[in-house]
Amino acid sequence: MKFPGNCLIVSVISAAFPGNSLKWKRNRMGRLHFYWQDRKGRSWEFYKRGSSGKSYFQNSFYVGEVKRID
């Protein structure tokens, strides 16, 4: 399912569920990327190709999808 948002907004909402935790790392561009981990230890992210080159404000309206990080 695709919807507008950015990694921070989606991760904060997802981490609010019991057992989930908010995580972050720096991407190749040196910017913060937020993701979350569920209670079973699986990691998930809100992703859209090319979003790392856009500003945080532009990413707020970028259409992406949630995917599992392997």
Do 66 and 54 form a contact (C-beta atoms < 8 A)? no
Q: Distances from the Cα of 5 to the Cαs of 11, 50, 61, 67, 68, in angstroms? A: 10, 14, 6, 14, 17
Is residue 42 classed exposed, middle or buried when 0-12, 13-18 and 19+ CB atoms within 10 A define those classes? exposed
Distance (Å, whole) CA 66 – CA 21:
16
Residue 15 has what pLDDT?
A: 94
Residue with tokens 């970028």: 62
Task: Look at residue 52 and tell me whether its pLDDT is greater than 90.
Answer: no
Q: What is the mean pLDDT of residues 58-69?
A: 87
pLDDT (0 to 100) of residue 8? 87
The yes-or-no verdict on residue 41 having pLDDT over 80 is yes
